[in-house]
Structure 1
């Protein structure tokens, strides 16, 4: 009876963890509870049958986080986690050196990078985001290149064949990639298909791909995949030790920068 009670309590705690974090890993849970990985897999299978989580390679993700097709309004995005985004933006901006050419993807976190970039005439920034353009236009020296196209008013950014064509013959040093969903197994995802297509073009043009996201995006999976996580070079985030991002970085081969 004690074993049954321990199992029930452990599964309830794992259920709470997967809802709070968005995803959990078998190895981490095995160490946390001092039980075998096979026992944890049985726990996750039980939670999957209950509709709490969906299994993924090496763990499970919250059922609520899978196929997040409802994109929040821009004002909602702007209001979410502003302090974390500001810290991430400052740290990411510090990675830009004089002489660099960089792409700032659309998004509220990449907008913070624009705010924190030094006003240096030796830095060139390309973007498809109208708000980022406005932020950079207030700086006197930084060189700004707008990627044109069709305006999507929902997030005040440009997309389409014209935007993608502008990247075809370009090579840049760094891409700072914003995300809607970030799952270690299912990849980096977004709500909007043309954005995924454009982001892949940006990544192809960049020597270094740097994902920027606050920890609320971990475990979320949107409809359209941009890249696999192992395709990025760096991740700038506010993740804590409990998010187990360092172990994923070691396994998947990207550098982790904590803001």
Structure 2
């Protein structure tokens, strides 16, 4: 059912026959899944098809965990390897890939974790991270992130050594985008306070643009993604001076398969206030 919702989220209204073929499922299974998801308010049924709920093209965070999970773990391990040794303050936006970054850093006990994500903040505390700062704000139920002026004010009071940013869309021409304008502003407040910004996204986000612009391509220095990303998009990032790291998107436990070139701003981190 997650794959069904993802297809509708990415492509809009689709006929049941197309969904059955794309998901390699029977027509009866698709009809049943559509009925169940409609009853939960996660999609709208149409004559012979289905479409995302009006005004909501964002897949709820509780349904994202299983998508591209192995790629996200590999991306996270590469991001973790880029974090300097010693005391360092890391900003993490919400999202399943940034959550994997936190898990990849579980062996570190010298970090300050700064986030506006409730789920990431709680997991960081459970890991026993030395310091965890969760910015206050208005809760977005779809992403479990705290956003708005209060969260932005909190971000302005801290110094971030490395910000690890997730996004719903990343392109060399459109920059970083997400589904919600308020969330975009809150995340940009974290980006502004960071000495170095790493964008961590799986290849399904590369080349996409969603509703709200979060930052320009000039606002981040490093991109970590997987090998499913279009090569022309990756080359455009490199041409823009971005340090690009690509991990294998296939199955197995291999690490990163290629590093990038570009002008990254490496800097020492700060402890968050």
TM-score by length of 1: 0.69
**Correspondence for 1:164:** 152
Task: Say which of 159, 164, 172 aligns to 1:176.
Answer: 164
Counterpart for residue 42 of structure 1: none
- Which one of the candidate residues 125, 148, 168 is aligned to 1:137? 125
Q: Partner of 1:138: helix, strand, or coil?
A: helix
What RMSD, in angstroms, separates the aligned Cα atoms of the two structures? 2.0
2:82 aligned residue = 95
Contact map agreement 2:171 2:233 (CA 8 A) in 1? no
Q: Give the distance between the partners of 1:125 and 1:250, measured in 2 at CA.
A: 29
Aligned equivalents of 1:242, 1:224: Cα separation in 2: 22
SS in 2 for 1:79: coil
Gaps of 5+ in 1: 1-21, 23-67
Match of 1:212 among 180, 200, 216: 200
Cα separation, 2, equivalents of 1:141 and 1:195? 25
Alpha-carbon distance between aligned partners in 1 of 2:166 and 2:68, rounded to the nearest angstrom? 14
Q: SS at the partner of 1:72?
A: coil
Checking the alignment, whether the CA contact within 8 Å between 2:97 and 2:166 is kept in structure 1 is yes
Q: Which residue of 2 aligns with 1:77?
A: 64
Stretches of structure 2 that go unaligned for 5 or more consecutive residues are: 1-10, 12-54, 248-273
Confirm or deny that 1:128 pairs with 2:116. Answer: yes
The one of 228, 239, 242 equivalent to 1:251 is 239
Distance 1:219 1:69, change over 3 A: farther
Structure 1 partner of 2:5:
none
Paired residue secondary structure (1:158): strand
Q: Is the CA contact 1:239–1:245 (under 8 Å) kept in the aligned structure 2? A: no
What is the TM-score when the length of structure 2 is the normalising length?
0.66
Quote how far apart the aligned CAs of 1:238 are. 0.5
- How far 1:120 moved relative to its partner? 3.1
Quote the offset at 1:258 in angstroms.
Answer: 1.5
Structure number with the higher helix fraction is: 1
Contact 2:204 2:229 in 1 (8 A): no
Question: What's the offset of the Cα at 1:166?
Answer: 0.5
CA distance in 2, matches of 1:161, 1:100: 26
The residue aligned with 1:149 is: 137
- Sort the Cα spacing of 1:257 and 1:174 in 2 relative to 1 into closer, same or farther, 3 A: same
Per-residue deviation, 1:75: 3.0
Q: Secondary structure at the match of 2:65?
A: helix
C-alpha separation in 1, matches of 2:122 and 2:113:
12
Shift of 1:94: 1.9
Out of 188, 192, 196, the position equivalent to 1:200 is 188
Distance 1:218 1:120 in 2: 30
Is the CA contact 1:232–1:254 (under 8 Å) kept in the aligned structure 2? yes
> Cα deviation per residue 1:163-184 (whole Å; 9 max; x = unaligned)?
1110112221111010001122
Aligned 8 A contact 1:119 1:141 in 2: no
Confirm or deny: 8 A CA contact 1:69 1:223 kept in the other structure.
no
Relative to structure 1, the CA distance from residue 169 to residue 258 in structure 2 (aligned partners, 3 Å threshold; closer, same or farther) is same
Aligned residue in 2 for 1:59: none
Cα distance change, pair 241–197 in 1 and its aligned pair in 2 (3 A)? closer
